[in-house]
Amino acid sequence: MNNSNDKNPMDELQEKLQQALKSGGIPVAGPFGPMMGATPEAKNTTGSGVSDQEANEILERIRGFNFKPREIRDYLNRYVVKQQEAKKVLSVAICDHYNHVRQCIENPQLRDRDYHKQNILLLGPTGVGKTYLLRTIAKLIGVPFVKADATKFSETGYVGYDVEDLVRDLYKISGSNAELAQYGIIYIDEIDKIASSGSTHGKDVSGRGVQINLLKLMEDADVNLFSPTDMMAQMSAMMEASRGGKPKKRTLNTRHILFIVSGAFDKLGETVKKRMEAAAVGFGGTSGQGDKDASEYLSQVSTSDFIKYGFEPEFVGRLPVRVACEQLNTEDLAAILTSSEGNLLEQYRMDFKGIRD
């Protein structure tokens, strides 16, 4: 047997890939459709439909950001019923963040200065419009927006999703445009579910472990855009390099990505209620505290309450802007169905109008 004629299987596979690429691309399909970068037609657009031209238009809007807080608040009033305090706080925080982004784009020297990013923590019962508020803001500004539930993440090295996958998802919906993705918004819901259980038996990989992984990510971290475990992404990067085109950026910095987290915090409301009731005992105390729902106490939550609830002090410190949403009643539900712009009843009217026409 002549060993001199034997070829390395990997070298042979690479040669076949290069030949196929030169002949016009490989129609590789994954579990969610064609692999990004597999064909020439897909190289400028992802499943989100963000083309290079659209990405450049969004970047121009970010560079010229000139919204005032009252303008964002007034826009939210058209779509979201109640939640006036949340609208005010969100509007100011969003303007503060993107004005800083605009200044850093105009003067790159500002990037090296310390800046305490206005990451936001939203509290409130389920169904009060927390997600809708943020989707509406992202739509107004036009920045990429990614939403995920905190319950699906686990500590790096364990089975489950890694928090860095959020940044990779933001990159994908931005049309693989790293410059656009670095100015997006990442929204993590059900954050109260990753509060540490306080158990000393083994590691809390889906609670404290996720909090620790999020610490650096929410402040300033370089994330590898091609996960070592994502074979499709690795293959796509290899094919792009084989085409001889401009190599894509392999890391994304999170310095200008705005992180917003939210949760119902049911038990936290009970804790704050007990603390307030205990403080109300004696002379100078106020009566009638016990008649309130526990969710109404979330607006009075303190940093120490979060730490007792099971959050790391460093994690709470990464969320300087905190606001509680109000519980809705039947009158608010009627207003949502009838008076908010794009309400459900109006959608039904349009549907029936189309049927009649």
Domain CATH number, residue 60: 3.40.50.300
CA dihedral 60, 62, 64, 66 (to 10 degrees): 150
pLDDT less than 50: residues of the chain: 1, 4, 24-48, 200
Which helix H or strand E contains 352, and what residues bound it? helix 344-356
Q: What are phi and psi of 207, to 5 degrees?
A: -120, -90
Residue 226 included in any domain = yes
Count CB atoms within 10 A of the CB of residue 86. Answer: 24
Q: Is 111 domain-assigned?
A: yes
Is 76 among the domain residues?
yes
Is 287 within 8 Å of 280 (Cβ atoms)? Answer: yes
Q: Is residue 187 part of a domain?
A: yes
Residue located via tokens 């419009």:
129
Q: What pLDDT digit, counting tens, does each position of 229-240 carry?
A: 666 666 666 666
Sequence-distant (≥ 6) Cβ neighbours of residue 280 within 8 angstroms: 286, 287, 289
Strand (E) or helix (H) holding 324 = strand 321-324
Residue 25 lies in a domain: no
Domain residues for the domain of 300 are 49-272+295-327
20 in a structural domain: no
Give the single-character DSSP code of 262. Answer: E
End-to-end CA distance of the chain: 79
Number of domains in the chain: 1
pLDDT of residue 30: 36
Residue 3 covered by a domain: no
- Residues 22, 26: Cα–Cα separation, whole Å: 10
Three-state SS at 64: coil
**pLDDT number for residue 296:** 84
Angle at 85 between CA 84 and CA 91, to 5 degrees: 90
Angle at 36 between CA 221 and CA 51, to 5 degrees: 80
**Residue 119, both tokens:** 């990451």
On whether residue 212 sits in a domain, the answer given is yes
| pTM of the full structure | 0.78
> Is 79 in contact with 136 (CB distance < 8 Å)?
yes
In this prediction, residue 206 carries a pLDDT of: 65
